[in-house]
Amino acid sequence: MSSGGSRARGRVPLMAGNWKMYKTSGEGADFVRHLAGELGVANDREVVVAPPFTGLASAVAAARGSSVKVAAQDVFWQAEGAFTGEIAPGMLTDLGVYAVIIGHSERRQFFGETDETVAKKVRAALDNGLLPIVCVGETEAEREAGAMEAVLSRQVPKGLAGVVATEAGALAIAYEPIWAIGTGRTATAEAAQQAIAFVRSQVGAVLGEEAAESVRVLYGGSVKPDNIDELMAQPDIDGVLVGGASLKVETFKRIVQFNEA
Ligand code: PGA
């Protein structure tokens, strides 16, 4: 399964499901067992699910010995301390968590996440051996005002402010246009490719060409079984971050098992 595109240079597709505030611990474990059974051992792509914090331990236990990995939806940057309600990176790795979503637009919109807090969380995740999945993307108003590139050329360098070039392969960026999240309005594959190529160019601008080639850039926003193949056929799209369609095994499985043109 090879597109002959840039992924041939070693960017393993990353297919990630963001469950948001859905699924109890037991429901998440059932999902992971079911998904793992359906997928078998797939080693040409990474499959990740991100339960709420309360579902991490049971998801990790259910995923043991399978190709499914587990991500958290957020993390705090301090190792420990008087930070009521927060979760430290070491607490995640202690559970066997593999990755962490950072700066999701819902966290930026509802919980005061900024480019500066994103940068601190990315640094802390890398320091603890967690794969950060850093979310960026413009609002509808910003897109209509022609400000997409201005937004991305702020969010990417600021979010990666603490990263050095050699770490680019140890992180992923998810480009999620906010107007496409949960709306059913996916960006066209061409528009997603274009924006993601721009994100990659921004990584190049701050960390250099080699880093830009090794960083994985995902698309997110109403990814579904019926648009996944076209999205994954784009040379710069290295995977997806899926919300709604990751909540059912059948739809997420089809997304994970995309067919490259
Ligand atoms: P969606 O969510 O797939 O439901 O649009 C994507 C996301 O928020 O990561």
Residues with CB under 6 Å of ligand 1 are: 18, 176, 181-182, 220-223, 241-245
Buried b (16+ CB within 10 A) or exposed e, 217-234: bbbbbbbeeebbbbbbbb
For residues 162 and 168, give the distance between their C-alpha atoms in angstroms, rounded to a whole number: 11
CA separation, residue 166 to residues 32, 42, 112, 158, 240 (Å): 32, 27, 30, 17, 23
Ranges under pLDDT 50 in the chain: 1-6, 8
Active-site residue (options: 104, 106, 113, 142): 104
At the second CATH level, the architecture of 4-256 is Alpha-Beta Barrel (3.20)
Is there a catalytic annotation at residue 250? Answer: no
The pTM for the full model equals: 0.95
| Interval between CA 225 and ligand 1 midpoint (Å) | 13
**Spatial separation of the C-alpha atoms in residues 97 and 129, rounded to whole Å:** 10
- What is the per-residue pLDDT for 41? 80
Q: Which atom of ligand 1 is nearest to the CA of 221?
A: 5
Please check whether residue 186 is in contact with residue 221, taking contact to mean a CB–CB distance below 8 angstroms.
yes
Question: Are 234 and 196 in contact, with CB atoms under 8 Å apart?
Answer: yes
Active-site residue, 104 included = yes
| pLDDT value for 10 | 81
Tokens of 46: 């990474």
Neighbours of 14 (CB within 10 A): 22
- Report pLDDT for 7: 58
